[in-house]
Amino acid sequence: MCAVWPGLLTHAYGAQVVHVEDSRSMLFVNLVRLGGVISDRVFATWFTWREEDDRSFLVAWAPLEEYSDVNQELVAELNSTIQQDYAAAKAVRGTSTGCWRIKPFAPNACQVTYVVAVSLGGSIPQALLNSRIKNTINTVQNVQRRFERSGNVVDKEMRAAFAFPPALAALKKEQR
């Protein structure tokens, strides 16, 4: 069982993480302050992961309600925590669904796919929506910058990971 602590949504980070024991799941509740006259948003999300047969790594998430089929008690406890938190209780509920897929191509080179769908709920001015879309795109760019390495090093690793094509002299006439 996991412990949920009321009042943690109002600390500096505006988030609470609950690691679900004996599973590959984590529940994450965060409060997003949009500022001005726009209501804050609260997101309650279930994260899970697995390794695929092709050695790719998949991290997926969905709204907390999707987790209720697995553990209704814990979902009820987290929803109660949101209602007991002054700022979170006033916030509009938003949802996020998506995944990160990291597929290795060589020992130190991979392909990353990021898919996300977010509903902020309520009414949001178009300018704010546009800035949030930009933030989402920046997420991918930040990951790329953090792990980016020299192109020459990556190219060398990729060449080493894949077989060289046969020499031109070894090909039949129709293959040339």
Sequence-distant (≥ 6) Cβ neighbours of residue 75 within 8 angstroms: 64, 65, 67, 68
Query: What pLDDT is attached to residue 10?
Result: 46
* Residue 66: DSSP 8-state: G
Q: Report the CATH architecture of 8-161.
A: 2-Layer Sandwich (3.30)
Query: What pLDDT is attached to residue 3?
Result: 45
Domain boundaries, the chain: 8-161
Query: What pLDDT is attached to residue 146?
Result: 74
Query: What pLDDT is attached to residue 1?
Result: 39
* Residue among 44, 69, 47, 60 nearest 119 (CA): 44
Q: In sequence order, what DSSP letters do the residues of 101-125 get, joined into one string?
A: EEEEEETTEEEEEEEEEEE--S---
pLDDT averages per 10-residue partition of the chain, 176 residues: 46 69 88 81 92 93 86 86 87 92 83 88 78 76 75 73 76 79
Query: What pLDDT is attached to residue 165?
Result: 74
Separation in Å, CA 9 to CA 73, 77, 85, 89: 20, 14, 7, 10
pTM: 0.71
Query: What pLDDT is attached to residue 70?
Result: 77
